[in-house]
């Protein structure tokens, strides 16, 4: 079975344009395309959080309007059992098998989704902090011609519950203002990964998202900067983002992790990731 999955993934990779740099991945399972839109859920070792989130996706009937694809960075916690995912209407599970963090996962999933012919992609984290009931609004917004839809807990109607104070301050007064000033679009919430993109924008050679420079967390800041610069229609939607009380589930922590985010932000804002 594993060899067949490897062959299937390699056949798909051969269809990618030669200038795309996509990390190695395998297809754990893929039950086929049924919609024009898909939801990409990046995870790594989310444990009960991803299982709860999968249940929430199922309760919200998201599979009726979009195909749900989980992209894993190599979880070892046994939280992504195939039968459980299929029982809850997950259509595919991709496993990134090479080095890299979130940006590498997204390059795998976006390349796969584009190859399958999806017209738009919604991305939402698998750590159960975002409310998946907002996904239909993201897809509806793509359908009317918006190219980049960003979730915002800070817009009127949004909910920011239990956000750590240092993170709240950094987003409101550093990250979002810097990207707003640099991009020319008024962003209010730029660090979270609940977003949607049009196929047209993802394929734009001037956007050029399939590059090895996008390995860790660069892709999110870059796209928030680059999309308005290239004239794409962008829009924020109010959403709920709830942190659990107690220990914060995050892959970015400590002085080193936060300095990396700031370094990435400033490089994006001065055009260091631009293709030309």
The dihedral sign for the CA sequence 207, 212, 215, 218: negative
pLDDT over threshold 90, residue 252: no
Residue 92's pLDDT is what? 97
Topology of the domain comprising 2-269: Spore Coat Polysaccharide Biosynthesis Protein SpsA; Chain A (3.90.550)
Percent helix, strand and coil across the chain, each rounded to 5?
Answer: 40, 20, 40
- Band of pLDDT at residue 9, cut at 50, 70 and 90: confident
Residue 254's pLDDT is what? 57
- Band of pLDDT at residue 1, cut at 50, 70 and 90: very low
Domain ranges of the chain: 2-269
Beta-bridged to residue 240, according to DSSP, are: 159
Q: Averaged over 14-35, what is the pLDDT?
A: 95
Give residue-wise pLDDT tens across range 197-221: 999 999 999 999 999 999 999 999 9
The model's pTM is 0.94
Q: Averaged over 77-97, what is the pLDDT?
A: 96
């Amino acid at each position: 079975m594993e060899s067949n999955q490897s062959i299937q993934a390699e056949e798909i990779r051969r269809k990618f344009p030669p200038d795309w740099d996509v990390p190695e991945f395998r297809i754990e399972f893929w039950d086929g395309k049924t919609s024009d839109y898909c939801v990409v859920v990046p995870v790594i070792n989310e444990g009960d959080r991803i299982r709860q989130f999968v249940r929430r996706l199922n309760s919200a009937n998201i599979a009726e309007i979009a195909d749900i694809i989980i992209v894993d960075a190599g979880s070892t916690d046994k939280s992504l059992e195939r039968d459980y995912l299929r029982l809850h209407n997950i259509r595919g599970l991709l496993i990134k098998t090479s080095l890299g963090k979130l940006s590498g996962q997204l390059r795998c999933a976006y390349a796969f989704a584009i190859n399958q012919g999806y017209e738009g992609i919604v991305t939402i984290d698998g750590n159960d902090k975002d409310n998946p009931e907002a996904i239909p609004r993201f897809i509806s917004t793509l359908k009317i011609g918006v190219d980049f839809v960003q979730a915002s807990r800070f817009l009127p109607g949004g909910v920011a519950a239990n956000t750590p104070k240092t993170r709240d301050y950094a987003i409101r007064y550093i990250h979002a203002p810097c990207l707003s000033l640099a991009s020319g679009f008024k962003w209010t919430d730029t660090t979270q990964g609940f977003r949607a993109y049009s196929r047209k924008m993802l394929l734009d050679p001037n956007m050029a998202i399939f590059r090895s420079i996008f390995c860790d967390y660069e892709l999110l800041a870059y796209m928030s900067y680059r999309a308005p610069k290239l004239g794409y229609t962008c829009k924020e939607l109010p959403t709920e983002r709830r942190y659990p009380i107690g220990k914060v589930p995050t892959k970015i922590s400590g002085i080193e992790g936060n300095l990396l985010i700031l370094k990435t932000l400033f490089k994006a804002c001065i055009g260091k990731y631009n293709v030309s």
